Amino acid sequence: MKKEISFTLNGSEVTVTIDEHLCLIDILRGPLGQTGTNEGCREGECGACTVIVDGQAVNSCLYPAFEVEGKNVITIEGLQEPNNKLSVFQQAFVDHGAIQCGFCTPGMIMSAKALLDTNQNPTEDEIRDALLGNLCRCTGYVQIVEAVKQAAVQLKNKK
Ligand code: FES
Ligand code: FES
């Protein structure tokens, strides 16, 4: 069955007609054209599809699309800076060699952002906990954790 839903996507109000059985990733990558969110396992195991819904990092491959009605959704595109400047997260991941194929990176960054939005001074354990649901088959996790630490410092200094 079709249903019209409206929600905030990266700061803009959007309205889209969806099939009720679809998951959030389907409408993000489909009609909404937000292809920065990657689909890996589609079983809630890899975290590649992580986006933020009302402040919480969620697996968009399992999140029913109709449930975002009236909510605030942030995807990796929402972190884009003007003039193609690298975001704090992008720069930190580059600086620490925390990207190889890059498939996991949008999901990693969204999980890290959800953490840093509520905790400006995370411990290493808190960072590792926040990234537990995000798998990377290329880099060591050490580089990724170091990148999130750098992002935390830089975001704090920006305020
Ligand atoms: S694609 Fe959603 S958790 Fe793997
Ligand atoms: S950089 Fe390739 S999966 Fe993480």
Mean pLDDT across the chain: 96
Integer angstrom CA distances of residue 5 from 32, 88, 103? 12, 32, 29
83 pLDDT higher than 90: no
Burial of 118 (0-12, 13-18, 19+ CB in 10 A): exposed
Coil, strand or helix: which one is 55? coil
159 pLDDT higher than 90: no
The alpha carbon of 159 and the centre of ligand 1 are apart by a number of angstroms equal to: 33
Give the mutation target among 138, 142, 145 for probing the ligand 2 site: most ligand atoms within 8 A of CB. 138
The alpha carbon of 126 and the centre of ligand 1 are apart by a number of angstroms equal to: 21
How much is the pTM? 0.96
The verdict on the CB of residue 51 being under 6 Å from ligand 1 is: no
The verdict on the CB of residue 46 being under 6 Å from ligand 1 is: yes
The pLDDT of 45-66, averaged and rounded, is 98
State the amino acid at position 4 in one-letter form.
E
Closest atom of ligand 1 relative to the 44 alpha carbon: 3
4 pLDDT higher than 80: yes
The pLDDT of 144-159, averaged and rounded, is 93
CA–CA separation, 139 and 92 (whole Å): 14
**Which domains are present in the chain?**
2-76 (3.10.20.30), 82-158 (1.10.150.120)
120-148 per-position pLDDT tens digit: 999 999 999 999 999 999 988 999 999 99
The pLDDT of 86-95, averaged and rounded, is 94
98 pLDDT higher than 90: yes
Give the mutation target among 38, 45, 137 for probing the ligand 1 site: most ligand atoms within 8 A of CB. 45
Q: For 76, which DSSP code?
A: G
The verdict on the CB of residue 137 being under 6 Å from ligand 2 is: yes
